[in-house]
A = this chain, B = another copy of it.
């Protein structure tokens, strides 16, 4: 994967810094608090899926009753993940590149046992 960026979240990180600055939210944005906020958003995302069958869950982003909500919750999770990484000084692209390399060794091709991290 040399030379290829798996993800680029730099513009979002900057936008979120600006957003926080303009609202004096830095006082709240400790990594501990942001990790909690991330949890809360994932909880809201999960609630969209909890009573659906796996098959029904495939259509959540197409169903007009849930499409907007699922997009919003995915966005919220991304927002807090990028903000948390930024505050911690973690380069998400590097972190995910390293993790995928480790996963390639841990889960050899052809092994169909699901990943447990």
Size category of the A interface is 35 or more
Tell me, rounded to whole Å, the shortest Cβ–Cβ distance linking A52 to chain B: 6
Bound Cα distance A27, B19 (Å): 34
* A64 adjacent to chain B (CB < 8 Å): no
Chain B residues with CB under 8 A of A43: 39-44, 46-47
A117 and B15: CB pair below 8 A? no
Bound Cα distance A9, B27 (Å): 29
Q: Is the interface of A mostly helix, strand, loop or mixed?
A: helix
* Chain A contact residues, CB within 8 Å of chain B: 1, 4-9, 11-12, 15, 19, 22-25, 27-28, 30-33, 35-55, 57-58, 60-62, 70-72, 74-79, 81-82, 84-85, 87-90, 92, 94-96, 98-100, 102-104, 107, 109-112, 114-117
Chain B residues with CB under 8 A of A24: 110, 112
Given A39-B39, A43-B46, A50-B40, A61:B75 Cβ within 8 A: no
Select one of B37, B60, B87 contacting A88, CB under 8 A: B60
